[in-house]
Amino acid sequence: MPLSMVKAGEPNVIRKVGGKEETRKFLEELGFVAGGSVTVVTEMGGNLIVNVKDSRVAIGRDMANKIMVG
């Protein structure tokens, strides 16, 4: 399921990062890599604040829809 559907506070494993090549590269540079762990901290106005690789990152819902977790 996409990261945008995950409840806050639940750790999830990233299964796949989709989208165009430049989008995938951008997300990988932020730490969104397959097999990595990601936890949604909070949602504000459609944007998600997530913990990934010991960092907090804010991403838009459109980006979160491209990150598949399970």
Where b means 16+ CB within 10 Å and e means fewer, 9-29 reads eeebebeebeeeeeebeebee
pTM of the model: 0.92
Beta strands in the chain (DSSP E): 11-17, 37-44, 47-52, 55-59, 67-69
Domain membership of residue 30 as a residue range: 3-69
CATH of the domain at 12: 2.30.30.90
Per-residue pLDDT tens for 12-51? 999 999 999 999 999 999 999 999 999 999 999 889 999 9
How many domains would you assign to the chain? Answer: 1
